[in-house]
Structure 1
Amino acid sequence: MDFSAPFLTNYWPHLLAAFIGYFTIKFLARSLFGIEITRRFSHEYDPARQLDLERDEDENQGVSGGPQSFEDMTEHIPYRLKKYTEKETFRRAVEFYRMMDERRTVRHFSDDAVPLGVVQTLIKTAGTSPSGAHTQPWTYVVVQDFNLKCQIRKIVEEEEEINYRKRMSATWVKDLEKLRTTWERNVLDVAPYLIMVFKQAYGVGPNGERINHYYSEISISISVGILLAAIQNAGLVTVTSTPLNAGPALRTLLARPVNEKLLLLLPIGYPAHNATVPDLQRRDIKDNHGSDVM
């Protein structure tokens, strides 16, 4: 199309009308429909939800949420925390650090029994974690049945072998070789329990309505961190496992709802009597890559 001077001379009234029409429609849409448009599509641009590393398609659907009336606000109650002396505060901090400094990733488990009540209490402790808007977007599933654990191991190992042989980079596989890590997961049917950590892509209300979840993967990460500390405190061990590509099959096996996505798999129990761990050193707090005080 030729946009030379004769074209503009002949068609300028039409172009002017088109520009006026465009900006008029844009102005009316903002003025008359802006609130409705924002309510309908705000979840697609929520930065808290954008932080999730992998979003299920279900998360893109409309969910309930929005401003609450004063009557809907959560009641606040007084909070009192015991205050220790400076000396006692330091002692407790050092004592907790020393306990956690003994925490290691263990891949050799004993089949010695662990009371189920202990595991349930550990999960209750993980549930004390903060979460975005207190949505608590996690589901902890405990597997104890031996046959079910064997099925889980079979599904995980099939996918892990493919990961190691095809999906993972050569550098990744080589870095794992230093830790003597392979695609085999024999701990899965030896450990007394498997804790499966699911992310709830959205919540489900009492009437079946969908409920927004915010910062879900960050919230779950904090919760699992508390769980690891609780496991160490109880004298037990675990290894954090991310069952890449096995999630859908495991969700089906465990009959979990469609709004749940498997993030982590944690065997839990006592270490084997002959268990070994890599001789690794943690970064010192003075290392600028670890921590700094400004």
Structure 2
Amino acid sequence: MTASVPAPRYGVPAETAAERTRRFADDLTRRRTIRDFSDRPLPDGVLAAALAAAASAPSGANVQPWRFVVVTDPVLKRRLREAAEAEEREFYARRASDEWLTALAPLGTDWRKPFLETAPAVIVVFEVHKGPASPRPYYVKESVGIAVGFLLAALHRAGLATLTHTPSPMRFLNEILDRPAEERPYLVIPTGYPAPDATVPDVRRKPLEEVVVWR
């Protein structure tokens, strides 16, 4: 049986809790998905700090079923781009339904993925399933999803832009990055600063009353 330790006390005064949360929410609402990256280098230590935040996420049975592969090598990034674009060409030309393509149209996306090469770092997130050196995980997608949420928030707090990219299928990532079969690709996150001329679609979030139910 695991030993117990005292639960942490966060020391936030009740009278400032709502304001602190509003400031955090206001900051996160400024986060946008970026597709045009600068090649500006990242500050030393920022990726390690953000990944430490991600790795602190809760997980089913505390198995921590995630692996974060940070790709900065230009040769590997080019290979990732070439493989992803090959899959994306098939997706846009043959696999995607008309309904799906219509939903994507306002975002201006297509099969071209230059951000995989331009962004100074690409973080590839894997789910870790049972294997020779890994135990059976529980609630894998939920656990990894929470960790990714922590990661995106931490990178945003550092002033960095991100993109959540999901080429399909993604098994080419195992081959290029030399990952074992029990690690299954979950998400690709180019990370860096927006290009000087970067733009984003003029879209809006749903108002809170549409997504929250109070009982």
Query: What TM-score do you get using the length of structure 1 for normalisation?
Result: 0.71
1:250 Cα shift?
Answer: 1.7
**How far apart, CA to CA, are the structure 1 residues paired with 2:132 and 2:154?**
29
One-letter amino acid of the structure 2 residue matched with residue 160 of structure 1: E
Structure 1 contact 135–213 (Cα < 8 Å) conserved = yes
- Give 3-state SS (helix, strand or coil) of 1:241's partner: coil
Q: Which has the higher helix share?
A: 1
One-letter amino acid of the structure 2 residue matched with residue 292 of structure 1: V
- Give 3-state SS (helix, strand or coil) of 1:286's partner: helix
2:99 corresponds to which of 156, 167, 171: 171
1:203 Cα shift?
Answer: 5.1
Residue 244 of structure 1: aligned partner: 168
Structure 1 contact 122–231 (Cα < 8 Å) conserved = yes
- Give 3-state SS (helix, strand or coil) of 1:261's partner: strand
Once superposed, what is the RMSD of the aligned Cα atoms? 1.2
Residue 253 of structure 1: aligned partner: 176
Shift >2 Å, 4+ stretches: 82-87
Structure 2 portions without partners, runs of 5+ = none
Cα displacement string for residues 6-64 of structure 1 (whole angstroms, at most 9, x for unaligned residues):
xxxxxxxxxxxxxxxxxxxxxxxxxxxxxxxxxxxxxxxxxxxxxxxxxxxxxxxxxxx
Residue 280 of structure 1: aligned partner: 203
1:177 Cα shift?
Answer: 1.3
Larger RCO, structure (CA 8 Å, separation 6 or more)? 2
- Give 3-state SS (helix, strand or coil) of 1:122's partner: helix
Residue 223 of structure 1: aligned partner: 147
1:87 Cα shift?
Answer: 2.5
Residue 122 of structure 1: aligned partner: 50
Structure 2 contact 40–193 (Cα < 8 Å) conserved = yes
1:116 Cα shift?
Answer: 4.7
- State the structure with more CA Rg: 1
- Give 3-state SS (helix, strand or coil) of 1:142's partner: strand
**How far apart, CA to CA, are the structure 1 residues paired with 2:81 and 2:148?**
21
Query: What TM-score do you get using the length of structure 2 for normalisation?
Result: 0.96
1:234 corresponds to which of 132, 142, 158: 158
Residue 137 of structure 2: aligned partner: 213
Structure 1 contact 285–292 (Cα < 8 Å) conserved = no
**How far apart, CA to CA, are the structure 1 residues paired with 2:78 and 2:136?**
35
Residue 2 of structure 2: aligned partner: 74
Structure 1 portions without partners, runs of 5+ = 1-72
Structure 1 contact 140–198 (Cα < 8 Å) conserved = yes
**How far apart, CA to CA, are the structure 2 residues paired with 1:95 and 1:189?**
34
1:192 aligns with 2:103: no
Structure 2 contact 164–187 (Cα < 8 Å) conserved = yes
Structure 2 contact 129–135 (Cα < 8 Å) conserved = no
1:84 Cα shift?
Answer: 2.3
Structure 1 contact 137–203 (Cα < 8 Å) conserved = no
Count of paired positions: 215
1:171 Cα shift?
Answer: 1.2
Cα displacement string for residues 74-132 of structure 1 (whole angstroms, at most 9, x for unaligned residues):
11101231332232111111110110010111111110000352111111100111000
**How far apart, CA to CA, are the structure 1 residues paired with 2:116 and 2:135?**
34
Structure 2 contact 67–125 (Cα < 8 Å) conserved = yes
Residue 23 of structure 2: aligned partner: 95
